[in-house]
Structure 1
């Protein structure tokens, strides 16, 4: 058995130990406790922490991807809008050109129609004028013929050798013509 002096000696032997360094059993138990804490952190805390970080990263990356997708969609919509606008401008230009062409065609058709109408009116006028001319010529021939016969009768009835008698006959004939013209009016 250990007597009391040995116990005191053993207790006093511990005094030789450096107070800054812990005892070997404290180091071992501290290492065991640290290993348990590390194991618990490694097994339970770090995976939860990693899961939370992954969720945040996915949320952030998803938000960025959604923002990029929305940006790409907006750019595509803008491009489609610009294409539609360009198409509408081209269509409007085509419609204006077509309207100009149709206007030109209508004007040309109206000019042709007006020319044809004026040619027809001129032709009708010329035909009427020719008919009236023929009628006037026919009337004049009959009148000239009748007047020639009348003049010849008057000339034959009077003496043609005397100049004064000829002038008197012509004057009388002209006076009769004037009287006939005044009576016809």
Structure 2
């Protein structure tokens, strides 16, 4: 008994099983498989035709896009040029405004410095007067009774210094 000399019962069982499987395939699966293959073939052919139409439409849209893109580039260049011109005008205006504000600030600061100098000079003259009076009282050993006279002397001294200041400068 080997594969070349099978038993009859095994052979009949194998033929029946093969027939059942073949009949099932031929009766149910093969028609469905054929339908699926035909549908796939139709779909492929239809898709190919549709893809050709879509490709032609895509080429047309691409040409329109290129034309619009070219127009947009020209418009963008014009807008950039206009913006550059407006920007330079704005810069000039801002510089002029800044220059005016700077000049006003410098004038204001100069006036404030002059006022502060006058106040500081008055305060220093008063301090010098007090120090001179204190020094004179120490030298004399007694308080100075005539403050009006002492103030006149110090004012005359400061007037003399003010008169000499322009000649030294």
The interval holding the TM-score normalised by the smaller chain is 0.3 to 0.5
* TM-score for the superposition, normalised by structure 2: 0.37
* TM-score for the superposition, normalised by structure 1: 0.34
Which one has more relative contact order, counting CA pairs under 8 Å at least 6 apart? Answer: 2
